[in-house]
Each structure stands twice: as C-alpha cells, then as structure tokens.
Amino acid sequence: MASSSSAAANPTPSATSPSQQPPVAVITIGMAGSGKTTFMQRINAHLHHQSQSSSTPPPYVLNLDPAVRSVPFDSNIDIRDSVNYKEVMKQYNLGPNGGILTSLNLFSTKIDQVMGILEKRCLPDTNAQEKKVPGHILVDTPGQIEVFVWSASGSILLSSLASSFPTVIAYVIDTPRTTENTSTFMSNMLYAISILYKTKLPMILVFNKTDVKEETEAVDWMRDFEAFQATLRKEEEEQHGEGSGYMNSLLNSMSLVLEEFYNALSVVGVSSMTGSGVDDFFAAVEEKRVEFEKEYRPELEKRRKEAEQQKSELRERDVARMMKDMQVSSKAKGTGKYATPSGNFPDTGRPKDEPETVSDAEAMDEDDEEEEHGGLEEPDDEAEIDAAEEEEAWKQSMQARYEAAVKDSKGPAATLKSADYIKKTQG
C-alpha cells in the first residue's frame, strides 16, 4: 500500500527526539468481534519490546472498558479500579449497555484527576531535561462502540485528551467479515466517516486479521471505483439476476460520493496474531501526529477561544442583570416611583408619609390621580433630572466597586459570589 510504504520510509519524530515532544494518544475503537483487544495487546507488546532496546519508556495504557473481566495487558489507569460495573447495574437497575454508559459517565466526573496524572507522567518537563516520557498513550474502549463514541462521557474523554496530547483514532475493522460482500464493506465505511465527523480527530483504518484474509480487496474497493462497481455487478448477477435494485443504486451512489473521503484516510493492514503490519501502523500514527498539529490543533484552539468568548459574554450579561436587579431592589426601599437609592424623594428630600387612616389614604389616592392626570402643580423637572443623575452615579459606583472586587484575587471579596457581595455591600 502506498500510504503505508511512504509512512514507513520517513523517520519517526519519536525515534529521533523522544523526550522533546508529548506522546501520541492512540484511541482504539472497533466493532464487537473486530479483534480490538488483541490488537491492543499486540501494539502494547510491540512498544514494550522497543523500550527494552531504546531509552524510550514503555507506553502509558488506559482501559476504559468497565465490563471486561480481564485484559491481556497491564493498564496504568483502569476504569474498573474506580467504578464497579456490576454494582452500577444493580443499584441503577440497568442492562449491560446502560451499565457501561453509566460507568463511563461516573468515570468522566474524575477526568480532571485522570488528566492530572497523565500530564504529570507523560508531558515533557522543560525544567528537568533528564525526564523521559513515553512515546505513546494507548487507550482501550468498550466493545459497544456506540456507547463510547456517541455518549457525552466519550466526548468529554476525547476532548480532554486532545487538549493536552496529539490524539489519533485507530478504527479496527474485521477484514474477513468486511469483504464478505459490498454491503458490509459500505456499512463499515459509513460508520468510519460518522466517527470521523463526530470526533473531528485524525483516523487510521486498521484492517485486522490479515493472517486470515489480506486487506487488498478492501483497499481496491476504496481506491478504485470501477473495481467496486465490478464486484457489485457480480453480486447482483449471482443473487438477483440482471437489473438493479434500490440497494445496488444506493451502494453505487455511496461509493462515488465517498471516493474523496477514501483518499484522505490512512489505511493499514495488520495481523494481531502474527504482528505483521504493526510497524506500518506506527509509521501512520506519526503521520497523523503531524496532521494533528498542522490541521486539528488550530481548530481545537479556535473552538476553545470561542468557548472562552461565550463564557465572557455570559459573565458580562450576568453582571448587567445583577446591576439591574440591584437598581430595582434599591427602588423597592422607597414608596414611590421617583425614589432614589437613598430612599428619598427628590422633591421633598424625605420619605413619603404613610397614611394613618382610611380618609388619609383616600386623600393621598386623589392626590396621586391629580398628579397622573395633570394637576394644578407643574412637575419639578430639575428634581427629576437630579434624581436620574444621582441614580446613574450610584449605579456606576456599584459597578466599579464590583469589578474591582472581582479583579482583586488577593482580597477577601474574590472568594465571595456575586449574591454574597451584594448582601455584604448593601447591608
């Protein structure tokens, strides 16, 4: 394969300067029965063997499958140490898939601790030149692929890894089953493109079990549109005779539409049993490292800046809403619509008298009606202007005091919430 041979010809950056760059996080995803766990065992053993003959530490391994009973490799971080899958099913009255999803959700609440460990163990330290970090972080995921890829916890785990390390998706495919017919092949390809669109991370198609059947036929279907068409016509003749049904028409259209998508994918044939193709896989991983830094990292930074901008806008709106509430609260301390923050009326300089009898109340109501409908007395425009100026000055003063308290991280006001600060300043 051209992609594999070209990748193998280039020296890998990790081989030249293993301690000068962060490791690549390889997320292994695959359908049930695709040989995903065996593939994890093979690449883990391969990297351990390389570490014995070089100065690079062995890979850092994470197991995110809570339902597996045993794995054929040692994990540095194991979800089973934090979450008991059977207890989750029992306590929440869930089935197998619901138990896996809930276990991932519970584990994702500790993602800050997980990332703290990973960054401490795997990121290079500029102050300690002798510190050696592993070249790869291997992550094993649940066999129920949709539970991890389409869940909120899966997105949290992937985005957290991608924020600190170059991250690559290894989509493992069962080669003998995929090449049984064109429909199975197209289903796998559509699933691959959906995962690529959902995760927005570099992807490598790993055609596993090449010791049973070579990946050549599947790669030909990807690279050569006419070869796929010829196989499709042959299947049609064998099963339904002459003519084309809606299924063949759909497969024809899909293969034509996905032709550009196929050209952008890295494809590697691997046998997890014999170990053939593993070197080509890690060469493709190094290619995807460069692709991540060049294309995916700027996109992640852009999304992060947009999120920070939205957060800042929300904070500004909260401050504006708070100041508006403070203004309304201050007006509520008076008894009329022209009350100032001090609770006084601008025209009299004192609070409005409360009625003591029913007659007084009726008289006050008549006075209010005369004011609303235009009584004999002209309104005091200067008093209204003074009240507005006083209220605006008070509002600006409170705004400045609040912003100063928020910015002063060393002062006691930094630990107060906005509501607490209002209570404290307003008495």
131 or 204: which carries more pLDDT confidence? 204
pLDDT digits (tens, 9 = 90+) for 53-93: 887 889 999 999 999 988 899 999 999 999 999 999 999 99
pLDDT band, very low/low/confident/very high, at 362 (cuts 50, 70, 90) = low
3-class SS at 354?
coil
pLDDT digits (tens, 9 = 90+) for 26-54: 999 998 889 999 999 999 999 999 988 88
List Cα–Cα distances, 379 to 335, 347, 350, 382, 392, in angstroms. Answer: 18, 9, 17, 9, 21
Which residue's structure tokens are 């020296």? 11
pLDDT band, very low/low/confident/very high, at 382 (cuts 50, 70, 90) = low
* Segment 55-59 long-range contacts (CB within 8 Å, at least 24 positions apart): 55/18, 55/132, 56/14, 56/18, 56/132, 56/134, 56/135, 57/132, 57/133, 57/134, 57/135, 58/134, 59/23, 59/134, 59/135, 59/136, 59/137, 59/138
Mean per-residue pLDDT, 11-18 = 43
pLDDT band, very low/low/confident/very high, at 363 (cuts 50, 70, 90) = low
Mean per-residue pLDDT, 230-235 = 84
Domains of the chain by start residue, with CATH? 24-225+266-292 (3.40.50.300)
In this structure, what is the dihedral angle of CA atoms 115, 303, 65, 133, given to the nearest 10 degrees?
-40
CA distance 200 to 27: 13
pTM: 0.68
Phi, psi at residue 358, to the nearest 5°?
-65, -35
**Contact present, 269 and 39 (Cβ < 8 Å):** no
